[in-house]
Amino acid sequence: MSTIKIGALVDGRYRIEARIGHGGMAEVYEATDIINKRKVAIKMIREDVMKNPINLRRFQNEATIASSLNHPNIVKVFNHGTIEGRPYIANEYVRGQNMKDMLDFRTSIPIAEAVSYMLQLTSALFYAHQHNIIHRDIKPQNIYVMPDGTIKLGDFGIAQAGGVDDSFTKTSEIVGSVHYLAPEISQGKPASIQSDIYAAGVTFYELLTGHVPFDKDTPVNVAVAHIKERFPPVKKYVPNCPKEIEKIIANATRKRLGDRYKGADEFYDDLLEISKRPDLLKEKKPLLARIFGFK
């Protein structure tokens, strides 16, 4: 069975309404939970992907780790199980687009809006870290933006829980997305709270500028740049970026672990301070733009 039929009932409670997505790992369906009378998203591992035991473990890893979390800015997992031998996850139905698609459309995000998203992201991260869970794949593709401005962090496929057997990621393969990988991860060191913070810092940079900090021709060159090259200033793309914002990004993306924010709560607190200062969040237009009225 490669796809589920529309109208089918999964596990006696989820009526499949429509196929809404198809990713590298899974098919996603809109469904109605006939017991709780709510809309859910059913994520089912693809048959071809399931043949690789590492993929199967990652999918099951996501189901068990994410289902233990309950935070307004994390995609809620209601249930998980198998249907005809294929694992599925019943998620909260997220009405929104991922942040990467939003960025592709809008190119960059105004400071006040970006700060609002980052406050929510760092709140979600602090909560996950308090529950001994490291996400390990923070990037705009894994963050969903609702029409009301709420964000939801999803995709815990390569997340790591304290005390969990993590042998399936202890291979020579470095997991995560190279543009967001902390320098120590590329050097083969273990993931930590601070590697999530680094990736969140890169995400903040990308929201404001529309660019990743290091866009090289090969993944290896990107990783080397994260290790060796100076992190580019936001001002390169946003000339009027307040120095307080630059400082937050710098504190999140320091090369050395010891120089970075110790926890997502520190990152959150600095964002909160800035959010209380409307003078910093207003988009400042260059002098010529103010005189002649162009952007």
User: The domain spanning residue 271 has which CATH number?
Assistant: 1.10.510.10
User: Do 64 and 136 fall into the same domain?
Assistant: no
Domain span including residue 244: 97-163+171-281
Give the sign of the dihedral formed by CA 168, CA 174, CA 176, CA 181: positive
Model pLDDT, residue 22: 74
- Is residue 123 located within the same domain as residue 46? no
pLDDT at 53: 87
Do 116 and 63 lie in one domain? The reply is no
List the one residue out of 97, 94, 98, 199 whose CA is nearest residue 139: 199
Q: Which of 99, 75, 88, 85 has its CA nearest to residue 31?
A: 88
Q: What is the reported pLDDT for 99?
A: 94
The ranges of the chain with pLDDT < 70 are: 1-2, 163-176, 283-295
- Counting DSSP H helices and E strands in the chain, the numbers are 11, 11
* Burial annotation 115-129 (CB, 10 A radius, 16+ → b, else e): bbbbbbbbbbbbbbb
Domain for residue 68, yes or no? yes
What's the pLDDT score for residue 266?
97
- Are 237 and 112 contained in the same domain? yes
Other CB atoms within a 10 A radius of the CB of residue 50 amount to 17
pTM of the model: 0.86
Residue 89: what pLDDT? 92
Please state the φ and ψ torsions of residue 119, each to the nearest 5 degrees: -60, -40
Read off the amino acid at residue 110: P
Q: How would you list the strands of the sheet with 143-145, edge to edge?
A: 97-98, 143-145, 151-153
pLDDT for the residue numbered 286: 55
Q: 3-state DSSP call for residue 209? A: helix
Q: Which residues of 209-240 are buried (b: 16+ CB within 10 A; e: fewer)?
A: bebbbbebeeeeebbebbeeeebebbeeebee
Active site residues: 137
Residue that terminates a domain, selected from 92, 111, 145: 92
Query: Which of the listed residues 32, 61, 92 is the one where a domain comes to its end?
Result: 92
Q: How many domains does the chain have?
A: 2
Domain endpoint, select from 46, 61, 92 = 92
Residues 121 and 84 in one domain: no
